[in-house]
Amino acid sequence: MSVRTRFAPSPTGYLHVGGARTALFNWLFARKHKGTFILRVEDTDAARNTEEARQAIFDGMSWLGLDWDEGPESSVNRSAAEMDGQDTSHSSVKLHPPSKPSDSYYQSQRKPIYDAYFEKLLAADRLYKDGDAYRFRFDRKPITMNDLVCGEVIIDYRDESNTPDMVIRRSDGSYVFHFVNVVDDLEMKITHVIRGEDHLMNTPKHLQLIEALGAQPPQYAHIPLILNADGSKMSKRDAGAAVGDYPKQGFLSEAVVNFIALLGWSSKSDDEIFTLTDLIDRFSLEAINRAPARFDLEKCKWVNQQHIAKISTERFADLAKPFVQAENLPITENYPTVIAAVKEKVRLLSEVPAAIDFLITDTAAQDDETVAKAKGNPNSAFLPALAEHMAALTDWSADIAKEAIATIAQANGAKPGQLMFPVRVALSGRAHGPDLGDIFSILGKEKTVERLRCF
């Protein structure tokens, strides 16, 4: 059996992190088993569908690197490495009218197919009118489903008060989600339906429909809900919910994929940092947890930092450049050297401007509290002597600058380490940042002496 999975978003809003995780798990399962991943757009809600939302879904999928084998024709199916931190608004997904309904992956274009399946149910006497609507007549028996994550689930349809017959076609002639969803899965020969646990109780209804149509059902796997760190249900308004916000905030796509994969899936090891290839190799439905996942934005930032540390300095420099330029900071000749000094210090690309501004401009903001603390440090009294000692040096390097600190400290009965804090603050205006040796090298002798004298 060739594995076929699908992600079927509704274009009524942006791509939510929960939807992205559903797409990722389907994508990983298909890639793991050398199968087919399908993107299908459930756009039957004409009143709420928007082109902007549709575009956001395609852009989000492409930024995450989740390419689809079948689905709408797209010009945004590019690698994540090309799209990290970049504006994708120039990309477009064109809605091409299909030559026949079965060619389309938009539900709005597949009505003739739904009509044909509706007629099948009508001929089998499984539908009846309720006003101008039609209801599906459930078989009044227990329905057992064996979910690949949740295990055995039984719904007893003998109690009609609990399980009333389901509307299939509304009075306006439109079909309900349950019906078109099932028809599309059958038509597209989906083998595994991997979706959120909130759909678990819909599945027995779908099984009844599939049985009535004389078809074989796919296998189902319902993945746990995503909760906020405080245990509340994650909503679309919560921080971290919108996938489209991640590139703007300076996350790497591979880091976001890594983090999302950990929301409900376990590698069964202490490892937490994975490439997309690692995830494909390790992923399995058996390793998905039953318990709800907890979303922790700080953990996501930590994962991002680990991925930043792994990429090349050249790529880091390229990805950080738009953020630096957005803050009107100059891209100087020594930009590659400057950027390398903070590569292991930042968690997000958006943090780069504030991390390097003092290295490339004399007007960078200072931390007033830190500056006051440094000026109150008794070892700051040795900075004028250090400035003059450095001014007299004929050679300059990070090591020579550090030797100068040791010389002045020893001459004043102090330890070199006691001068490091006031020196750092005098040069940068902050308590933390790049290695002091990198700061000496980048600023150079004249700028270092000038800032020590002015402190």
How far does the chain reach from its first CA to its final CA, in angstroms? 73
Query: Under CATH, which number does the domain 1-93+224-311 receive?
Result: 3.40.50.620
Query: Rg (Cα) of the chain, in Å, rounded?
Result: 30
pLDDT given at position 73: 67
pLDDT given at position 88: 37
Pick from 81, 83, 53, 57: nearest CA to 71: 57
Specify burial of residue 28 (Cβ count, 10 A radius: 0-12, 13-18, 19+).
buried
Parse the chain into domains and list their residue ranges. Answer: 1-93+224-311, 110-223, 319-454
Only one residue has tokens 């009333």, namely 164
Query: Under CATH, which number does the domain 319-454 receive?
Result: 1.10.10.350
Cα separation of 395 and 290, whole Å? 64
pLDDT along the chain (455 residues), means of 10: 94 91 98 97 85 91 95 54 40 44 85 97 97 97 96 94 95 95 97 96 96 97 92 80 94 98 94 96 96 94 98 97 97 95 97 97 94 96 97 97 97 95 97 96 97 95
DSSP for residue 415: -
pLDDT given at position 235: 76
Cα separation of 262 and 369, whole Å? 39
Specify burial of residue 420 (Cβ count, 10 A radius: 0-12, 13-18, 19+).
middle
Task: Mark out the alpha helices in 347-394 (DSSP H runs).
Answer: 352-360, 368-375, 383-391
**Superfamily (CATH) of domain 110-223:** HUPs (3.40.50.620)
pLDDT given at position 200: 95
pLDDT given at position 14: 87
pLDDT given at position 102: 63
Cα separation of 230 and 353, whole Å? 32
Task: Mark out the alpha helices in 213-343 (DSSP H runs).
Answer: 245-249, 253-261, 276-282, 297-310, 313-326, 335-342
Domains 110-223 and 319-454 share a fold: no
pLDDT given at position 101: 65
Q: Nearest 5°: phi and psi at 136?
A: -90, 130
3-state helix/strand/coil string of 18-75: HHHHHHHHHHHHHHHCCCEEEECECCCCCCCCCHHHHHHHHHHHHHHCCCCCECCCCC
